[in-house]
Amino acid sequence: MSGRNTRAWLRWAGGFAVLAVVAAAAYGLERGHRWLTAEGRFPVKEIRVSGCLLLYEGEVLETAGALRGENLLTVDPEMVRARLLASGWIREARVQRRPPGRVLIAVEERRPWLLAPGEIARFVDREGCLFPAGGKEERLDLPILHDPAGRARTVVPALAAAFPAGDGWFDEKVAQVSIDASGAVTLIERSRGTRARFGSGDFAGKAERLRTVLAEWEKSAEAYEELDLRYEGQAIARRPIVPPEEEEDEEERPDAEKRESERKSV
């Protein structure tokens, strides 16, 4: 055999040997993978759920899917997370596998801020996301959202930012939030039924003026049917709410005085 043929044969043999090694390794890996992920091996025996405040742990487990008894290595954390987020109630989720057979699920819930009534009642959080009413949240006295044009997703976050979370003032004072097709907002006050017209933009300034006016009304027992806050730095009260015992006296007041009371800048 000539030297040239010998070298060619050695190159061919070397290449074949490499292919044989790679094939053997792949075959071994494939068999190893099948062995590791076989049904009944490394079963999930424990699932721990944390972060539930309004949801029941059972609801989270049901949404996550049938994990108990599954091979731990075949549990896809991202797929489980996607199922949890699709429920609507869960804002964020983290799923971790812990050998030999434990799955950890940590959830961050959406917190109801408004109630959107309908054939199927839904909650609305401060980000404007709608999700099914339920869980441990049995309160139905949340402020009602009237949003026929479906503008909540864009308007509610800006409105919510004007009312700090956790201070309770909004829940106590506001009965309804109405958003029209243009995105203009009107709040209906809970105790008197006063319509506070916010319009759009500068919700923080309008919220501060609303707080100030309502506090003054509480001191003086004064109230009006409408409070227009759309104009910068102003709160214009219109149409006084007259107690029943004063209605008769109201009829006798001079027309000029009545007109003055119908438009009062607070």
Per residue of the chain (266 residues), give pLDDT as tens: 555 555 554 454 455 444 444 444 444 545 544 544 555 577 999 999 999 998 999 999 999 988 998 999 899 999 999 999 998 999 999 999 999 899 999 999 999 999 999 888 899 999 999 998 877 766 667 999 999 999 999 999 999 999 998 888 999 999 999 999 999 999 999 998 999 999 999 999 999 999 999 999 989 888 899 999 999 999 999 988 776 555 555 555 555 444 444 444 55
Question: Looking at the domain covering 46-109, what would its CATH class be?
Answer: alpha beta
Residue pointed to by tokens 């007259």: 242
Q: What is the pLDDT of residue 120?
A: 85
Distances (CA, A) of 1 to 4, 10, 13, 161, 233: 8, 12, 15, 87, 102
As a whole number of Å, the CA-based R_g of the chain is: 33
CB atoms within 10 A of CB 163: 22
Q: What is the pLDDT of residue 6?
A: 55
Q: For the packed helices 57-64 and 77-86, what is the interaxial angle rounded to 10 degrees?
A: 120
- Give all strands (DSSP E) within 57-156, no chain letters: 90-98, 102-109, 114-116, 122-124, 130-132, 144-146
Separation between Cα atoms, residue 92 and residue 75, nearest integer Å: 19
Separation between Cα atoms, residue 43 and residue 261, nearest integer Å: 76
Q: Which of 219, 221, 218 has the alpha carbon at shortest distance from 172? A: 218
Sheet containing strand 195-199, strands side by side? 130-132, 122-124, 114-116, 144-146, 174-179, 185-189, 195-199, 224-228, 236-240, 264-265
Q: What is the pLDDT of residue 9?
A: 46
Separation between Cα atoms, residue 35 and residue 42, nearest integer Å: 11
Question: Does CATH place domain 114-265 in 3.30.70.3000?
Answer: no
Mapping DSSP to helix (H, G, I), strand (E, B) and coil, where does residue 164 land? coil
Length of the chain: 266
Q: What is the pLDDT of residue 245?
A: 59
Q: What is the pLDDT of residue 226?
A: 96
